[in-house]
Amino acid sequence: MVDVPNKGAGMRGLRVFLVENHQDSVKYIRLYLEQLGHEVTTAEDMATALKLFPGSTCDVLISDIALPDGDGWELMERIKNTRPGLTISMSGYGSAEVQLRSRSVGYDYHLVKPFTPGDLVALLEKAGTVVENQQSGREEDTSKGENLPEWTK
């Protein structure tokens, strides 16, 4: 059983756009995020993501790199001008090359699967800060990875 942090423990509800083709991963990540009080929109492939994303008002994009009809890197390149406040790529691969590629196309962070719920929560807390700063007119550079564990950078 995975511990779910208390919703009232300082984490604000975010609008999360999740792109993942593995149905079990979608099911459990979505369930976990919703239990944390987040609103989740999902897409199982790049084509669906490209259709749904322009109309979304998401705060966070979480995308798998390996998609059945492309990859998360191409997805980011195609939506880069309308990207949300914080973006997270995820993959079973965590080499320096993969992480660098994720950063170079515009992702703020790269999670290596399998990751712990705590890994995801740390990034969502960062996203909450980014969104609050944007709403109050203060921009925050998410590319520095300030105050986050080394594994997320």
Q: What is the pLDDT of residues 55-113, one digit of tens each?
A: 889 999 999 999 999 999 999 999 989 989 899 999 999 999 999 999 999 999 999 99
Q: Percent of the chain scored above 90 by pLDDT?
A: 70
Is 126 exposed, middle or buried (CB count within 10 Å of its CB: 0-12, 13-18, 19+)?
buried
C-alpha to C-alpha distance for 131 and 64, rounded to whole angstroms: 22
What's the whole-number mean pLDDT along residues 1-16?
64
Q: Could you tell me which CATH number the domain at 15-152 has?
A: 3.40.50.2300
Q: Where are the domains of the chain?
A: 15-152
Question: Is 28's pLDDT higher than 50?
Answer: yes
What's the whole-number mean pLDDT along residues 128-137?
82
pLDDT of residue 139: 56
What's the whole-number mean pLDDT along residues 31-37?
96
- Name the pTM for this structure: 0.83
Backbone phi, then psi, for 111, in 5-degree steps? -100, 135
pLDDT band at 114 (very low <50, low <70, confident <90, very high): very high
